[in-house]
Chains A and B, each alone.
Chain A
């Protein structure tokens, strides 16, 4: 069974602060995805990383895939209240397994 562990589970910060969310596994993944989910809505795909060591930037969000393709991080610079939500990482492999979701990080950014 593949597992993805996310940390922290919950994060409450002030507007303007920086933060990093981690997603770790002992399994190798073909790709790692990050989703953001707002209350009462479905998860929205933010980014997919597929190459070990890959770094992608999406405005104030920076995503990194570990060299060994077992872990990933999401860094948010100068967080804003609009960043509030549940952040989910998910891993895909080529072994016929369905997408594996991490436990989620609940982020609250206070004005």
Chain B
């Protein structure tokens, strides 16, 4: 298995809703990442997990809450989002934290906040 699987593919949520994005990989990668990508822009790093521990939080608002239940799973819990949080949310993984040989990205979750 050489894929990163993200669910759901699309999500529409209201500003008072609570939802979660899920990411799964079975490549034995020990580093996992959440990125946010706005239209026509490169991905922006949000969170980094290394060996199931939160390594980096790029000053992301607390309405985004990451969780790494085990080495294969990564969740992003969403609560009280704003319309400007609408974006493509990408999960990625790599063998090691430096990403020397590249990241494997999932297909993303297209999030719309209404």
Contacts and interface: CB of A to CB of B under 8 A. Distances in A.
Interface stretch (B14-22, B63-71, B73-81, B97-105): B97-105
A30 interface: yes
Contacts of B83: none
Interface in A77-101: 86, 88, 90, 92-94, 96-99, 101
A64 interface: no
A98 B99 contact: yes
Q: Is the interface of A mostly helix, strand, loop or mixed?
A: loop
Given A88-B42, A92-B98, A99 B108 contact: no
Interface in A19-71: 30-31, 33, 35, 40-45, 48, 50
29 contacts: A30-B100, A31-B102, A33-B103, A40-B107, A41-B108, A42-B90, A42-B92, A42-B108, A43-B43, A43-B90, A44-B105, A45-B102, A45-B105, A50-B100, A86-B40, A88-B42, A88-B43, A90-B102, A94-B98, A94-B100, A96-B98, A97-B98, A98-B45, A99-B98, A99-B99, A102-B42, A104-B40, A104-B41, A106-B40
